Amino acid sequence: MTNSDTPRKTTRIDDLPIREELRGKSPYGAPQLDVPVRLNTNENPYPLPEALVDRIAERVREAARDLNRYPDRDAVELRTELARYLTRTAGHEVSLANVWAANGSNEVLQQLLQTFGGPGRTAIGFEPSYSMHALIARGTGTGWISGPRNEDFTIDVAAAEKAIAEHRPDVVFITSPNNPTGTAVDAGTVLALHDAAQAAGPSMVVVDEAYGEFSHHASLLPLIEGRPNMVLSRTMSKAFGAAGLRLGYLAADPAVVDAVQLVRLPYHLSSVTQATALAALEHTDTLLGYVAQLKDERDRIVTELRALGFDVTDSDANFVQFGRFADSHTAWQRILDRGVLVRDNGVPGWLRVSAGTPAENDAFLDAVRELKKEHDA
Ligand SMILES: Cc1ncc(COP(=O)(O)O)c(C=O)c1O
């Protein structure tokens, strides 16, 4: 038998000497299907305006002239502009020293867990919530604790305080508005959990405000004042309509910004990324105009779904959780059969739809209206 006759054995992940905790696990994977209406990943449906596209091209062209050099490692101009944006829109004055930026808020969260979590340490989140918190914990060797929520998806403060006192986690994640439920968390709850975490820990409290701009409520940014163990995480993926850019940022005490320097890769944020983000920040007002439209559309989806007889969780985000379905996966497939992709987050009985353009939302509402008719027939 020659070499070429030997049946080739396919190597599987588990044949490799990978870390034990990664064995048999699945990667993050929202389906990227080619269907007419995609409302499954909480993207902003509006393409960037032409004037901004031109400005990005201009800024990237300038940056390209220096691509033989590493980028500004500290992203000073970009962090200064992000601080200015937060100061103007989030109700609290911050400056360059308070702000750090990375490739998407996922990387910000990863840097936070590399700094404050890691082997022998734990993080807690209140689930259902953003699935990447647990996945990034796993990737950084941080133990994960799943904390409880009330039936209506608000955080059960007493139960959360108890879980924090019992497990003494090193990092506490609070997502407001929460994904996938859309639930906002009030400042009183955040403070109660922060105080419980300091009494048990001390530990870092990470407020993930990826959807902050879509909320009916004010940003939780002012809570970082005088609380060096509290971090606010934000992104340009949603409100700025720039998911493809990969730009997330945090605001916190300057000591936190100094601490994440210990784990960030040198030159992690490319010159092209920094130039593009700076161009987008020049167009903040136009982009926030789209946010206002999306908030109206989100409210319309909530109202119309309720009128159709669905249960709908109050939403402060650019998406809506609706149900209840005896079998949410079958309902997801039926909606997909009508050309509309929504998200089955694995929350039993519920699905999630992102607010799209008015036409996309109409297509979604038509699809669920038909689903309802079929069900009632
Ligand atoms: C709650 C929450 N946080 C963070 C992110 C990550 O966003 P990005 O890495 O695009 O900034 C998302 C994305 O869906 C999210 O839902």
Under-50 pLDDT residues of the chain: 1
Task: Say how far apart CA 310 and CA 17 lie, in whole Å.
Answer: 48
Whether CATH 3.40.640.10 fits 50-282: yes
Q: Whose CA is nearest to atom 12 of ligand 1?
A: 210
- What does the domain layout of the chain look like in residue ranges? 30-48+286-376, 50-282
What global pTM score does this model have? Answer: 0.95
pLDDT score, position 376: 75
**Domains 30-48+286-376 and 50-282 in one fold:** no
pLDDT score, position 269: 98
Quick one: 30-48+286-376 is in which CATH superfamily? Aspartate Aminotransferase, domain 1 (3.90.1150.10)
Task: Say how far apart CA 248 and CA 261 lie, in whole Å.
Answer: 15
Q: Is there a contact between 133 and 109 (Cβ–Cβ < 8 Å)? A: yes
Ligand 1 pocket by Cβ (under 6 Å): 42, 104-106, 130, 175, 179, 208, 210, 235, 237, 243, 248
**In the block, residue with structure tokens 């696990």:** 25
pLDDT score, position 9: 82
pLDDT score, position 144: 98
69 CA distance to ligand 1 middle (Å): 30
200 CA distance to ligand 1 middle (Å): 28
192 CA distance to ligand 1 middle (Å): 24
112, 208, 233, 235: residue to mutate for ligand 1 pocket, most atoms within 8 A of CB: 235
Two structure tokens written together for 361: 């939302």
pLDDT score, position 296: 97
pLDDT score, position 113: 98
pLDDT score, position 225: 98
Q: Is there a contact between 211 and 237 (Cβ–Cβ < 8 Å)? A: no
pLDDT score, position 27: 82
| CA 310 to each of CA 152, 216, 320: distance values in angstroms, whole numbers, following the listed order | 15, 22, 11
pLDDT score, position 151: 94
pLDDT score, position 3: 59
43 CA distance to ligand 1 middle (Å): 10
Q: Is there a contact between 123 and 172 (Cβ–Cβ < 8 Å)? A: yes
